[in-house]
Amino acid sequence: AQSVTQPDIHITVSEGASLELRCNYSYGATPYLFWYVQSPGQGLQLLLKYFSGDTLVQGIKGFEAEFKRSQSSFNLRKPSVHWSDAAEYFCAVGVPTNAGKSTFGDGTTLTVKP
């Protein structure tokens, strides 16, 4: 079975600083990987996805993520954080043999200091 670990429950960064959110997955084959963002009381918005090919993927809102098979990681990065980026971020993995099910990490809450 697949699983996802987000080691950081809460991260605080200053506005304008760079950001990296960590995600580690467990799955025997090449996974389908996603990052979502959730604002309070809202649903999840897809930031980016990795299916295959180039291991550095670009997403919306200036986010990017890098897939590293050797480290089973899919870390999310942003070079300069804006106050509006404060939210909860979820990493997820999907597999073709598990129809319709994405397995999510516990999430990382991002606080942005002015």
Partner 1 sequence: KAGVTQTPRYLIKTRGQQVTLSCSPISGHRSVSWYQQTPGQGLQFLFEYFSETQRNKGNFPGRFSGRQFSNSRSEMNVSTLELGDSALYLCASSLAYGLAGVHEQYFGPGTRLTVT
| 54, 68 Cβ separation under 8 angstroms | no
Pairing assessment for the beta strands 87-94 and 102-104 based on DSSP bridges: antiparallel
What are the backbone angles phi and psi of residue 97, rounded to the nearest 5°? -85, 0
Is residue 46 involved in binding partner 1 (CB under 8 A)? yes
- Other beta carbons within 10 angstroms of residue 96's beta carbon come to 8
Tally of residues, the chain: 114
> Which of 18, 51, 58, 71 is close enough to bind partner 1 by CB under 8 A?
51
CB of 43 or CB of 114, closer to partner 1: 43
Whether residue 114 contacts residue 25, with contact meaning beta carbons closer than 8 Å, is answered with: no
Minimum separation from the CB atom of position 107 to partner 1 (A): 7
CB of 13 or CB of 102, closer to partner 1: 102
Site membership for partner 1, residue 32 (CB under 8 A): yes
Taking the least distance from each CB to partner 1, the nearer of 44 and 86 is: 44
Contact with partner 1 (CB under 8 A): which of 2, 21, 34, 63? 34
Measure the N-to-C terminal CA separation of the chain; round to a whole number of Å.
41
What is the closest distance, in whole angstroms, from the C-beta atom of residue 70 to partner 1 in the complex?
A: 22
Residues forming contacts to partner 1 in the complex (CB under 8 A) are: 32, 34, 36, 41-46, 49, 51, 90, 94-107
